[in-house]
Amino acid sequence: MSRVLGEVGERVGEEVRVERGPLGPAQFWRGQWRYVVGELLDSWVETAPWWQRPAAGGASADLVAPREVFRVEAVRAGRSRMSFAGVYDLSWDAADNRWSLVRVHD
């Protein structure tokens, strides 16, 4: 089961700070808590659904800035990875220069 974090307008997820490594997120902060990424499980690129794309005509209307999504296994700093690891989807939106936590997998 996974939880999709709440929508705010057209944005989904909560803003997080991320330190990026060579392959993707190395650690991230949710409020005061720091999470250390143990493993990058998957990554992909998403574009906005067609109904959220700009209404302006022309070829540029079809070119929507994609966002990168990284599925990571991470643990809150100071906890044992064997007991407390979780799976998180972190999204990088280059157009907004913003990282978001979009999904937490249970």
Range of the domain at 81: 14-44+65-105
Residue 56 lies in a domain: no
Residue 57 lies in a domain: no
Average pLDDT, the chain: 80
Residue 34 lies in a domain: yes
Evaluate if residue 83 carries a pLDDT over 80: no
Number of domains present in the structure of the chain = 1
What does the pLDDT look like over 27-67, one tens digit per residue?
999 989 999 999 999 999 988 776 666 665 554 544 566 88
- Residues in Cβ contact with 106 at an 8 Å cutoff, skipping those fewer than 6 apart: 1, 2, 3
Rounded Cα distance, 72 and 91, in Å: 11
Q: What is the H or E stretch that residue 27 is in? A: strand 25-30
Query: Which tokens is 81 given?
Result: 């990875």
Residue 99 lies in a domain: yes
